[in-house]
Amino acid sequence: MGPGISVAEALASDLEGPLLVNGWLWRRDGGDIRLCTGLTDSRPPQCVAPSLVVTAADLSQMKGLNTAQGVTWSPQPILLLGDMSDGTLVVSGQSKG
């Protein structure tokens, strides 16, 4: 998937400072934004565990997201840069991968 680490590696990490994490973005309306290890093939897709809650990310600024039946997701893996705090990725910058 490119540079960065997996969701599982981010969850297990005790490194200080920002991490660049690979995964698929996923959110059910009214729910938390999550960075998932993968997505199911169903329509709409479901988040494959393990996953991270993502805060400080603005979905309205992200291009190329799909939405169906109250679920928004990235059709391709993305890279998010942020700090881990209690199993949550607090985004400090973002880029698509």
Report if residue 76 sits inside a domain: yes
Report if residue 77 sits inside a domain: yes
User: For residue 54, what are the contacts with CB-CB under 8 A and spacing of at least 6?
Assistant: 25, 32, 33, 34, 35, 80, 82, 88, 89, 91
Overall size of the chain counted in residues: 97
Report if residue 88 sits inside a domain: yes
Report if residue 1 sits inside a domain: no
CA 83 to chain centre: 13
Report if residue 87 sits inside a domain: yes
In the block, tokens 């565990």 appear at: 49
pLDDT, block means (10 residues), the chain with 97 residues: 86 91 96 97 97 92 94 95 93 58
In this structure, the number of other CB atoms found within 10 A of the CB of residue 88 comes to: 15
Answer yes or no: are the C-beta atoms of 84 and 49 closer than 8 Å: no
pLDDT given for residue 96 in this prediction? 42
Report if residue 49 sits inside a domain: yes
Domain tally, the chain = 1
In whole angstroms, give the CA distance from residue 97 to residue 70: 24
Range of the domain at 88: 7-16+23-96
Report if residue 51 sits inside a domain: yes
Report if residue 2 sits inside a domain: no
Q: What pTM did the predictor assign?
A: 0.89
